Amino acid sequence: MTRPGDAPVDVCVVGSANLDLVAAAPRLPRPGETVLAAGFAEHAGGKGLNQAVAARRAGARTAFVGAVGSDEAGQRLAAALVAAGVDTSLLATSEQPTGRALITVDERGENSIVVVPGANAAVAGATVPPARVLLTQLEIPLAAVRAALQAARAAGTTTILNPAPAASLDPALLALVDLLVPNEHELAMLGTPGELLAAGVGAVVTTLGAEGIRVTTPAGEWHQPPFTVTAVDTTAAGDACCGVLAACLALGQPLERAVRTAAAAGALATTRAGALPSLPDRAEIDALVAAQ
């Protein structure tokens, strides 16, 4: 069995890849309402792809396990991963079209997102490369998430689950998770941090948006204050946080320092429009941490 210390990559991300279709509007539409957009853009995205690129930009050797279609969008996403330096040897090609995310961003930087999974439904998590940290989310089939966590746990790999989009999870799956990284809405679907620790989760890292991050471990609870930035678009802020957290832990940082670095990455991601274009590199992150 390959030990984490001998792993050829630092972080393995098992997750989704989508083409983001982003409309910039003065406000988010109410049910039944049409709002005229001020602009439109297309970007590589998907929680898995975003998190893989975030981890790589933070300095971790990163592999991505996912699926795209054999269409032009799939080629664009694969090219974006390669350009970022992410290992795509386990990126599958599906007969289904590449996933899409329909995103509206308002003038305050808040967003509304609808995801069309497409090829992401073909992701299988049973085959993952040896890595120090495995990171996965819920935009792929739950069976793939479970298989990836089981394979990583069997290899002695640290496991991180970002339970997004929000869903109820059974105790057997939660028991495979070393770090659970929900936002407040996702946490409400899963239970209190104490209940999650009792179910076998190693630690709960709850992202609180503009309020920072709350970390709950068996030893106690502590709060990471937010970093002060001017938000333009909150899309992928959580993905930046998760990917950088995985990278920092894989590179040997203790949890408290890794959370602080991840919080800075999430804050920086809100200062630029789009998902992939907003993900900061390690120099930017370290500069913000040093400044604040």
Q: What is the mean pLDDT of residues 260-286?
A: 94
Beta bridge partners of 68: 93
Is a pLDDT exceeding 90 seen at residue 138? yes
Is a pLDDT exceeding 60 seen at residue 257? yes
Q: Is residue 202 part of a domain?
A: yes
What pLDDT is attached to residue 173? 97
Q: Is residue 23 part of a domain?
A: no
Q: What is the mean pLDDT of residues 50-62?
A: 98
Percent of the chain with pLDDT over 70: 98
Q: Is residue 24 part of a domain?
A: no
Residue range of the domain that includes 129: 4-16+47-92+121-291
170 is catalytic: no
Given 20, 106, 178, 239, the catalytic residue? 239
Please tell me the pTM assigned to this model.
0.92
Percent of the chain with pLDDT over 90: 85
What pLDDT is attached to residue 110? 85
Q: Is residue 25 part of a domain?
A: no
- Token output for 245: 């957290």
Longest dimension (CA), the chain: 56
Is a pLDDT exceeding 60 seen at residue 1? no
Is a pLDDT exceeding 50 seen at residue 262? yes
How does residue 3 score in pLDDT terms, banded at 50, 70 and 90? very low
| DSSP β-ladder status, 18-24 and 99-105 | parallel
Q: Is residue 249 part of a domain?
A: yes
How does residue 7 score in pLDDT terms, banded at 50, 70 and 90? low
CATH number of 142's domain: 3.40.1190.20
How does residue 163 score in pLDDT terms, banded at 50, 70 and 90? very high
188 CB contacts (<8 Å, ≥6 apart)?
166
| DSSP β-ladder status, 213-217 and 203-207 | antiparallel
Q: What is the DSSP string of 57-117?
A: HTT--EEEEEEEESSHHHHHHHHHHHHHT-EEEEEEEESSPPEEEEEEE-TTS-EEEEEE-
Overall number of domains in the chain: 1
What pLDDT is attached to residue 292? 87
Q: Is residue 221 part of a domain?
A: yes
What pLDDT is attached to residue 194? 97
pLDDT tens digits, one per residue of 227-238: 999 988 887 899
Q: Is residue 234 part of a domain?
A: yes
pLDDT tens digits, one per residue of 108-135: 878 888 989 999 999 987 789 999 999 9
What pLDDT is attached to residue 6? 56
Is a pLDDT exceeding 50 seen at residue 2? no
Q: Is residue 112 part of a domain?
A: no
Chain-wide mean pLDDT for the chain? Answer: 94
More reliable by pLDDT, 127 or 51: 51
Q: What is the mean pLDDT of residues 253-282?
A: 94
